[in-house]
Amino acid sequence: MNSLESLRSDFNTQIKEITKINNKKMFDYCSYVGSGDSYAAGLFAEFFTGHRCRCYSPSDLIGSKILYDKTYCFISVTGKTKANIELAQRATESGARTVAITFDQNSKLAQVCKEVVLLKLPKAKTPGSGFGTFVANVVTSLQLTGVDVPKNFHLWYKKGLELSLELLNSVALPDQITYVIGNNILHVLAFYASLKMAEFFGITAVPYKLEEFCHSPIFGIKKSHYLWILGQSEKRLSRKLGKLGINISYFELYNGDTLTQLFQSIFFVQHLILLLAQRSGFTQLKYLVEQDVLKTSSDIIYNNRN
């Protein structure tokens, strides 16, 4: 099974396991800490708690003072990320409450944290963390802060698939720099989508909020670049940008219920990426092919000595 097939299988089977996730509330306030997909999961929790909980990359906090009366919740599938481990150990030694959300209860991160929340679903046989693990991290992060997540995953998944199939023919796989635009929770989704586009296709994708994009980055855009707009009733603004001759794909993702919008949109992005890969004949994720880049990335993230 190639890497794309394994991710497609993971996407198609994730709902059954995600529906079983049921964590009790652990705190009202915390600082979520994570990198990559895990950072995105924490950012969603920040939004849904009205910023009572905040989310940081570990690099944001490495040089900061640890507050002993705060809770630090570290999101890491492997529990091996060097920066997470160093920060968690320092926080624990400072007397702060430390929690690890991870697959591996025997990982170094789990060992240095005071409490561990295990992701209780079968680990996907995929390169990297997989689609299901990301959604599980989002659900877990929300539940630990007391956000009630209805068991509507089958409906949200179905709608996400329908949207991706409906919009596929209007989307070209970008071959140049792509700006992924979204506001509020869709800005976090834009960040997540930019990660997947780099991993799958080797595309330089940059997330922005719509207004921030118009303050400055818009002046650096070329007609060979692309704009993906994850929209919330912003079609009119999309048309204004289109008059500049920019390659635009607009995806209307608005829903009055923000949790519905969140999960439908995640499933939409995941499936759209898979459809674009299939249509373009990809069988392997780009980052797995770039072995020198992958080794350098792993050496830095995990502090490998080889």
Q: Residue 287 and residue 295: Cα distance in Å, rounded?
A: 10
Which two tokens mark 44?
A: 């969603």
Q: Which residues touch 67 (CB under 8 Å, ≥6 apart)?
A: 94, 96
Q: What is the model's pLDDT at position 124?
A: 65
DSSP 72-124: EEEE-SSS--HHHHHHHHHHHHTT-EEEEEES-TTSHHHHHSSEEEE--SPPP
pLDDT digits (tens, 9 = 90+) for 124-139: 676 667 899 999 999 9
Q: What is the model's pLDDT at position 88?
A: 97
Is pLDDT above 50 for 156? yes
Q: Considering Cα of 78, then 179, then 258, then 253, what sign does the dihedral take?
A: negative
Residue 14 · residue 131 · CB < 8 Å: yes
Q: Is 79 left (phi over 0), alpha (psi -120 to 50) or beta?
A: left
Q: Residue 239 and residue 229: Cα distance in Å, rounded?
A: 11
pLDDT digits (tens, 9 = 90+) for 51-75: 999 999 999 998 889 999 999 999 9
| pTM score of the predicted model | 0.94
Is pLDDT above 90 for 154? yes
pLDDT band at 248 (very low <50, low <70, confident <90, very high): very high
Q: What is the model's pLDDT at position 271?
A: 97
Instruction: Find the mean pLDDT for residues 181-190.
Output: 96
pLDDT band at 306 (very low <50, low <70, confident <90, very high): very low
Instruction: Find the mean pLDDT for residues 159-180.
Output: 94
Q: Residue 188 and residue 190: Cα distance in Å, rounded?
A: 5
Residue type, 53: C
pLDDT digits (tens, 9 = 90+) for 90-135: 999 999 999 999 999 999 999 999 999 999 787 767 666 789 999 9
Instruction: Find the mean pLDDT for residues 158-165.
Output: 97
pLDDT digits (tens, 9 = 90+) for 11-56: 999 998 999 999 999 999 999 999 999 999 999 999 999 999 999 9
pLDDT band at 305 (very low <50, low <70, confident <90, very high): very low
> What would you report as the CA-atom Rg of the chain, rounded to the nearest whole angstrom?
19
Q: Residue 279 and residue 297: Cα distance in Å, rounded?
A: 28
Instruction: Find the mean pLDDT for residues 3-11.
Output: 87
Q: Which residues touch 116 (CB under 8 Å, ≥6 apart)?
A: 99, 100, 102, 105, 110
Q: What is the model's pLDDT at position 1?
A: 60
Instruction: Find the mean pLDDT for residues 271-284.
Output: 93
Q: What is the model's pLDDT at position 287?
A: 85
Q: Which residues touch 46 (CB under 8 Å, ≥6 apart)?
A: 32, 53, 54, 55
All domains of the chain in start order, with CATH: 3-149 (3.40.50.10490), 153-286 (3.40.50.10490)
Is pLDDT above 80 for 291? yes
> How many Cβ atoms are within 10 Å of 144's Cβ, its own excluded?
22
Q: Is 125 exposed, middle or buried (0-12, 13-18, 19+ CB in 10 A)?
A: exposed
